[in-house]
A = this chain, B = another copy of it.
Amino acid sequence: MEKHTFEMTLLFDFYGDLLTGKQQEYFDLYYNGDLSLSEIAEADGITRQGVRSVLKRGEDTLTDIEEKTGLVRRFGEQGRVVSDIEMLAEAIVTKTAETETRVLAAQIVQNLQSLKD
């Protein structure tokens, strides 16, 4: 079982609540807690293959949701645009000699922070 940690933790962050309770539990242990299949199996009293199967179904569900909605991709693109705008606004704050302009540009930087939460 290849471990796609970056992609899966991102998808899990967005869509994790759409998984079953057991899938969420194993996802958290495997991807966030970095436990092995065997360690999860032992802790939960099931086979390693059983753990693998639960995780695989969860991964398939998350991948399917993203393929159909593309929302994580859209949020990622938004993040890049926000970074670009932030650089532009900070350039204005740094370079302008006008007090009012500096205040407006600083408000843009501040507003952008709320998009990053």
Which residues of A are at the interface with B, using a C-beta cutoff of 8 A? Answer: 14-15, 17-18, 65, 68-69, 71, 77-78, 81, 84-85, 88-89, 91-92, 95-98, 100-101, 104-105, 107-108, 111-112, 114-115
- Bound: A98/B97 CA distance, A: 9
Q: Is the CB of A95 within 8 A of B100?
A: yes
Query: DSSP class of A's interface residues: helix, strand, loop or mixed?
Result: helix
Q: Which of B14, B88, B100 contacts A71 (CB 8 A)?
A: B14
- Bound: A105/B111 CA distance, A: 15
A42, chain B: closest CB distance, angstroms: 30
- Bound: A105/B100 CA distance, A: 14
- For A105, the chain B residues whose CB sits under 8 A away are 88, 92, 105
- For A71, the chain B residues whose CB sits under 8 A away are 14, 71
Could you list 10 examples of A-B contacts with CB < 8 Å? A14-B71, A17-B69, A18-B65, A71-B71, A78-B78, A81-B111, A84-B111, A92-B92, A96-B101, A108-B108
